[in-house]
């Protein structure tokens, strides 16, 4: 019996590990990163939409974690605004579907991130997903996502409580992950292509014939979001 349990635990771990590998934005390669010149500093202005229960301390922790990552690319993070919202939808797809109609990308808000709080319904769903995980090793809970049309709006779950969530990620690491999507990066094993995409976006910002402060996005589909107008739909 002990033999079966140990092998079952190993299978669950490997299943979850492989699942996470297919959803990573990539691992850093220091040697590749250090050879790239990301140019002069640029400012990424972000607006947060928050639910009840998200504190100033939560926002500060998230900001510090993302800023630490953006420093690698000579990008300064500026939180330009914070607005309180009621829950837009229980499902992540519903949140992403409503964000474009509630937000307008402009000179002060280059990107929008919706910070999801924690409700009793969320807790019940976590219990359900824990049961599914125990049976199959599959994680059905999504911790964050970015819309794929312009990659300028997304959401993360900013309050974690279950062991399963804390085992695999944290609000800070989720924001860093989705932050790469907001810079145009997709999923890959290593971040090499992402480094180049970020550099290209910064060069576009440098060469654009306007005084716009907007930091462009080159999406996964190679669509160029050069101005705030391009990002609003």
Least confident of 24-33, 106-115, 136-145: 136-145
pTM of the predicted protein model: 0.83
The domain limits of the chain are 2-231
**Residue 213 to residue 126: CA distance in whole angstroms:** 41
pLDDT at site 159? 84
The residue with greater pLDDT, 10 or 228, is: 228
**Full strand arrangement of the beta sheet holding 111-116:** 75-84, 42-50, 111-116, 153-157, 144-146
% of the chain residues with pLDDT over 90: 63
Per-residue pLDDT tens digits for 42-101:
999 999 999 988 999 999 999 999 999 999 999 999 999 999 998 888 888 999 999 999
Q: Which CATH class is domain 2-231?
A: alpha beta
**Residue 16 to residue 12: CA distance in whole angstroms:** 6
Alpha-carbon Rg of the chain, whole angstroms? 19
Query: Does the structure show a pLDDT above 90 at 123?
Result: no
């Amino acid at each position: 019996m002990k033999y079966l349990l140990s092998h079952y635990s190993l299978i669950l771990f490997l299943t979850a590990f492989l699942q996470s590998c297919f959803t990573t934005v990539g691992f850093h390669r220091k040697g590749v990163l250090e050879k790239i010149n990301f140019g002069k500093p640029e400012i990424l202005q972000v607006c947060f939409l928050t639910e009840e229960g998200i504190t100033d301390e939560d926002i500060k922790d998230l900001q510090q974690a993302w800023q630490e990552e953006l420093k690698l690319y000579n990008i300064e993070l500026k939180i330009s605004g914070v607005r309180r919202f009621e829950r837009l939808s229980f499902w992540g797809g519903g949140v992403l579907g409503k964000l474009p109609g509630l937000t307008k990308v402009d000179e002060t808000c280059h990107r929008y991130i919706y910070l999801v709080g924690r409700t009793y319904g969320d807790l019940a769903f976590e219990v359900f997903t824990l049961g599914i995980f125990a049976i199959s090793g599959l994680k059905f809970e999504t911790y964050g996502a970015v819309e794929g049309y312009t990659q300028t709006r997304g959401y993360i779950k900013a309050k974690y409580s279950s062991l399963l969530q804390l085992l695999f990620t944290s609000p800070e690491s989720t924001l860093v992950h989705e932050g790469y999507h907001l810079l145009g990066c997709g999923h890959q094993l290593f971040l090499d292509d992402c480094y180049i995409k970020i550099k290209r976006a910064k060069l576009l910002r440098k060469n654009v014939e306007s005084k716009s402060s907007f930091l462009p996005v080159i999406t996964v589909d190679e669509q160029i979001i050069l101005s705030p107008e391009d990002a609003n739909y």
